[in-house]
Amino acid sequence: MGTTKIIIMKKILSLIVLMSTFVISTEVSAQKFSGLDISPADIATYPSSYRVADKAIKVIYGRPKLKKDGVTRDLADLAPAGKVWRTGANEASEITFYKDATVGGKSVKAGSYSLFTIPGEDEWTVILNSNLNQWGAYSYDSAADVIRVSAKTSTASESLEVFSITFTDDGDMVMGWGTTRVSLDISL
């Protein structure tokens, strides 16, 4: 093959690669992304410090807001007393214990569980359920409950607009929304 043919073939190959790159980048840039979730997902861990890599507990949950479309909703309507609640928004919250733990006085093996609650006036029932990847509490099955324990409630002076979960320095899990605070004893 002559030098001229090799140069022409290299230019044709370069042109093909350039056109392929353009087609691929056009397809990627045309991808549609949905808007932000109204109740974005969050993660709470124990220990809470980002400087501690060896986590003992992780909770993945949706963060609903009390206000929707400028209207303040009532917590009692969003998490009704006496009814199983997904403990957040969207998918049922999931809690992972990386070590065996005692939750509300009951033993729990290391593993991942769906986290449900039943709100009450003076205490909430906290449920760890073995069925994962559930949307809301619509397919909740009490036969898959691993434990049900009581958690103390209190009223705070500060109101939280967005449902939140955190851990104390001792490892207890605290859920808060509006002025309601729910504290669950956990020891490792």
**Tens digits of per-residue pLDDT, 28-68?**
566 777 777 778 999 999 999 989 999 999 999 999 999 98
- Is residue 18 over pLDDT 70? no
User: Which whole-number Å values give the CA distances from 68 to 95, 107, 148, 162, 185, in the listed order?
Assistant: 27, 39, 31, 11, 32
Q: Please indicate, yes or no, whether residues 111 and 171 belong to a single structural domain of this protein.
A: yes
Rounded to whole angstroms, the Cα distance separating 78 from 39 reads 13
Q: Please indicate, yes or no, whether residues 127 and 162 belong to a single structural domain of this protein.
A: yes
Bridge partner residues of 107 (DSSP)? 102
Q: Please indicate, yes or no, whether residues 89 and 141 belong to a single structural domain of this protein.
A: yes
Please, what's the b/e burial string for 151-183 (b: 16 or more CB within 10 A of its CB; e: otherwise)? bebeeeeeebeebbbebeeebbbbbbbbebbbb
The pLDDT value recorded for residue 32 is: 77
Length of the chain, in residues: 188
Confidence band of 21 (pLDDT split at 50, 70, 90): low
Q: Please indicate, yes or no, whether residues 90 and 157 belong to a single structural domain of this protein.
A: yes
Give the domain range for residue 92.
Answer: 41-187
- Is residue 103 over pLDDT 70? yes
The pLDDT value recorded for residue 27 is: 58
Q: Please indicate, yes or no, whether residues 163 and 103 belong to a single structural domain of this protein.
A: yes
Q: Please indicate, yes or no, whether residues 92 and 5 belong to a single structural domain of this protein.
A: no
Average pLDDT over residues 126-130: 98
Q: Please indicate, yes or no, whether residues 15 and 91 belong to a single structural domain of this protein.
A: no
Mean pLDDT of the chain: 89
- Is residue 156 over pLDDT 70? yes
26-32: long-range contacts, CB 8 A cutoff, minimum separation 24:
none
The pLDDT value recorded for residue 68 is: 87
Q: Please indicate, yes or no, whether residues 5 and 98 belong to a single structural domain of this protein.
A: no
Rounded to whole angstroms, the Cα distance separating 90 from 40 reads 9
The pLDDT value recorded for residue 33 is: 76
Reduced to 3 states, what is the DSSP secondary structure of residue 130?
coil
Q: Please indicate, yes or no, whether residues 145 and 170 belong to a single structural domain of this protein.
A: yes
Q: Please indicate, yes or no, whether residues 22 and 74 belong to a single structural domain of this protein.
A: no
Q: Among 3-17, 93-107, 165-179, where is mean pLDDT lowest?
A: 3-17
Confidence band of 24 (pLDDT split at 50, 70, 90): low
Q: Please indicate, yes or no, whether residues 60 and 115 belong to a single structural domain of this protein.
A: yes
Number of domains in the chain: 2
Q: How do 93-97 and 71-72 pair as beta strands?
A: unpaired
Q: Look up the pTM and report it.
A: 0.80
Indicate the Cα dihedral angle 167, 97, 122, 140, nearest 10°: 130
- Is residue 22 over pLDDT 70? no
The two tokens of residue 135 are 């949307």
Q: Please indicate, yes or no, whether residues 14 and 76 belong to a single structural domain of this protein.
A: no
